[in-house]
Structure 1
Amino acid sequence: MALRCQECRRHQLAQLCRMVDKMLASALDRLIRWSFEHGEGEAGMQDGLLDAREEQAYRLLVGLSSARSAELAEVAKLPQHEADEVLQRLQAKGLVAIQPGDEAVFRPLPPDVALGTTLLRRQESLESARKTVASLSEEFRASASRRDAHHLVEVIVGATTLRDRLRDLQNSAREEILWFCRANPLAMQGADNTEEYGALSRGVRYRAIYERALLETPGELDSIAEGVSWGEEARTLLALPVRLAIVDRATAICPLVRDDELGIGEPTAAVIGRGQLLDALLALFESHWEQATPVKLQGGDQQGPDGLDDSERFLLSLMVAGVPDKSIASQLGISRRTVQRRLDRLMSLAGVDTRTGLAFQAAKRGWL
C-alpha cells in the first residue's frame, strides 16, 4: 500500500512538472511577443521600423536626392494619395524633411540617426527579455530540484544523443567548461569537437584534464595543441576516475558505461543538475586539476629566461605526464634518439641525472 501511494505521488509530481513546463513556455512566448510589440511606455516597436512600401519610397528618394510627392508617385508607380501617406509616415519617423519653398519638396535624412534610438530600444527590450527568461528558468530549476529528483538526474541513451547534448551544452555555455578526457572516447573525438572553438571565441574558459593513454592516440596531441592555441587550459594525469563534462558549474554529463562494457549495447549517460551530486563532481575535478601536469604548447625555438624554449617545455610536459618516448617521438615527428638527447639536455640544465629528478626540478623551478 505504501509503495502504491509513493507511486501515485511520483505520478502526480510528474504531471505537475509537465504542467509547469507548459505554463513557463507559454509565459515566455507571451513575454517575447510583448517585448517586440511594446517599448518602454512608448509606441509599439513595430511602428519604429519600415514596412516594405516605406523602404521602397525611402530608397527611391535617396536616389533622387529630393522630390515632390507627385514625382515620387510617378517613379514608385503609386497612386498620389498613397505617395502622400508614405511621405507623411517617413516624415513622422524622421527619415525625410520638407525643404522650404512654395511647393513641398522632400529630401531624405540619415537613417542611422532616425532609427538608431528605435533599434537601441529594441536591443534593450530584448536584453530585458533574456534576463527575465534566465531568472524564470533559475526559479523553475530551483523549485523543481526541491520537489522532484527527476529534474536533478536525467538518463540519456545512445552515442548520437550524448554527442548532441554535449554540443548543445557547449553552445549554450557562458562562463566555463570542465572536462575529464579519458582514452577511447564514447561519443566525440577531440578533433570533432568544433564547438569548443566557438565557445572559446565567446570568452568561455576551458579546462581539460587528459588521461595519459589518450595522449598516445595518433593525432590527439595535435588536437590538444590546437585547443591550447585557442585558449584552452590543458593538463594531464596518468589516469582519471570517470569521463566527465561540467558546464557553467550548473550541469554535468557523466557516462555510466564502464571501460569493460565499451562496445556492448548503446552507451548511457547521466545529465546532472545543481545539487550535492554536482558539488561532489566539481570537487573531484578541482582535486585532480591541482595534481595534473600542465601541457605546454609547442612553439618556436626562442629561449625564455630559464633557458627553455617552447618545444622543450612541450616535450617536458609530455615526459612528466608519463608519455613513452616512442609515443612522444611519433607525435612530434622526430626520432626516439632525438627525444632522449633533448631530455638529456634538460636533465643537464636542471643539474640531475634521472628523469624523476628532472620532473621534480621542473615543478620546483616553475618550468611547467
Structure 2
Amino acid sequence: PPGVALGALLTRQRHELEKAELAAALLAEEYRAAAAEPAVHDLVEVVTGGAAVAQRFLQLRLGAHDEVCALVTGDPVVVTGVGNGAEEQAADRSVRYRVVVERSVLDQPSGITELTAALGRDEQVRVVDRVPAKLVVADRSLALVPLASHSSEPAALVVHAGGLLELLSGLFESVWRDALPLRLGASGVTEQGPREPDGTDLEILSLLLAGLTDASVAKQLDLGLRTVQRRVKHLMELAGVTTRLQLGWHAYERDWVARKP
C-alpha cells in the first residue's frame, strides 16, 4: 500500500527538513550576534580640531564611574591633567584619579598650583622624568591619545574596548609603578623618595618565606594579625606586584631578605 511504501520516506524527509530549519535558525542567530559586534574601524575614533578634542576629553572624564588614569606631559596643548571643574564633579561621584606628570610640569607657572589643587582633592599624583606619551584612560573601557601633529590642528585617537586599550592600560600601569609619589605638605608639593621596607617589614618577610602563616608571624613578632596583613599589602605595593609569590621573588631580587655582603 502507498501509505506503507511512502510513509517511512516521508517521515525521513520531514526529519531532514526540521534539521535544516534548525540549522538555518542557528546561522541566523550567529549572523545577528556578529552584526551586533562593533566593526574593527569602530574601535578607534579620530577626533580633529582643538575644540573637538577638548570636548571629547571632557566627556571622557565626566563619563567615568570608577577611575581616570592619565599621563601628562609638559606641553599638554589641549589635553591637560587638571582644570575646568571635571575633577571636582568626579570627586563628588567618588571617581578615583591617578595621574603621572612629567617633571617639567613642576616648572610651569601654573603647574604647582594645579597639582596642589589635585592633591587637595585626594587625587594620587606621581612624577617621572619623562612620560612616553600623553594618555587618558577612563574605567579601562575608553582611552584618549592626543596625536603629535605637524599641522596647526590638534588631533586625538579615542580607543574603545579591545586589545589596543589593554595595551594602553598596561603602559600606564608600567609608568605608574616606576614613578615617585607627590605629596602636599606645609612647604607645598614635594616628591617622596623611593620607599624601602623597615626592619619589621623585613622580619615579616623572612618569617613568611620560612613558611609561617600570617597568624604565626603575628604571634612571633607580638603584632596584630591585621598589622601583619597591612604590612604585607604595603610590601606588595612597594614591589609593584599583585601576589605573594611575586612578592617573594621581588624580595629576593631586591635583597630585602638576603642582603649581599
- For normalisation by structure 2, the TM-score amounts to 0.59
Distance 2:34 2:95 in 1: 23
Q: How far 1:364 moved relative to its partner? A: 2.2
Distance 1:245 1:165 in 2: 11
Distance 1:163 1:229 in 2: 24
**Residues 256 and 364 of structure 1: is their aligned pair in 2 closer, same or farther, counting only changes over 3 Å?**
same
Cross-structure match for 1:275: 162
Distance 1:160 1:169 in 2: 14
Distance 1:202 1:233 in 2: 16
CA displacement, residues 234-263 of structure 1 (integer Å, 9 cap, x when unaligned): 0000001110001111000001216xx3xx
Cross-structure match for 2:117: 226
- Pick one of 280, 286, 289 that aligns with 2:173: 286
Unaligned 5+ segments in structure 2 are 1-32, 199-237, 239-261
Cross-structure match for 2:103: 212
Q: Looking at both structures, which has the greater relative contact order when contacts are Cα pairs under 8 Å and sequence separation is at least 6?
A: 2
Distance 1:188 1:283 in 2: 20
- Aligned to 2:185, what secondary structure does the other structure show? coil
- 1:231-270 maps to which residues of 2 (within 5 A)? 231-257=122-148, 261=150, 264-270=151-157
- Pick one of 170, 182, 185 that aligns with 2:61: 170
Distance 2:166 2:70 in 1: 15
- Aligned to 1:208, what secondary structure does the other structure show? strand
**Residues 288 and 254 of structure 1: is their aligned pair in 2 closer, same or farther, counting only changes over 3 Å?**
same
Q: How far 1:363 moved relative to its partner? A: 2.2
**Residues 297 and 257 of structure 1: is their aligned pair in 2 closer, same or farther, counting only changes over 3 Å?**
same
Cross-structure match for 1:27: none
Distance 1:235 1:257 in 2: 24
Q: Which amino acid aligns with 1:205?
A: R
- Aligned to 1:184, what secondary structure does the other structure show? coil
Q: Which amino acid aligns with 1:197?
A: E
Identity %: 31
Q: How far 1:298 moved relative to its partner? A: 2.3
Task: Check the 8 A contact 1:190/1:220 in 2, yes or no.
Answer: no
CA displacement, residues 32-88 of structure 1 (integer Å, 9 cap, x when unaligned): xxxxxxxxxxxxxxxxxxxxxxxxxxxxxxxxxxxxxxxxxxxxxxxxxxxxxxxxx
**Residues 275 and 141 of structure 1: is their aligned pair in 2 closer, same or farther, counting only changes over 3 Å?**
farther
- Aligned to 1:180, what secondary structure does the other structure show? strand
Distance 2:35 2:69 in 1: 23
RMSD between aligned residues: 2.5
Give 1 or 2: higher helix fraction.
1
CA displacement, residues 277-333 of structure 1 (integer Å, 9 cap, x when unaligned): 00000110001100000000123xxxxxxxxxxx38x43x0xx7xxxxxxxxxxxxx
Q: How far 1:201 moved relative to its partner? A: 1.6
**Residues 204 and 267 of structure 1: is their aligned pair in 2 closer, same or farther, counting only changes over 3 Å?**
same
CA displacement, residues 207-234 of structure 1 (integer Å, 9 cap, x when unaligned): 0000111111112111111111112100
Q: Which amino acid aligns with 2:68?
A: I
Cross-structure match for 2:37: 144
- Aligned to 2:196, what secondary structure does the other structure show? helix
Q: Which amino acid aligns with 1:223?
A: E
Distance 1:231 1:295 in 2: 11
CA displacement, residues 73-122 of structure 1 (integer Å, 9 cap, x when unaligned): xxxxxxxxxxxxxxxxxxxxxxxxxxxxxxxxxxxxxxxxxxxxxxxxxx
- For normalisation by structure 1, the TM-score amounts to 0.42
- Aligned to 2:68, what secondary structure does the other structure show? strand
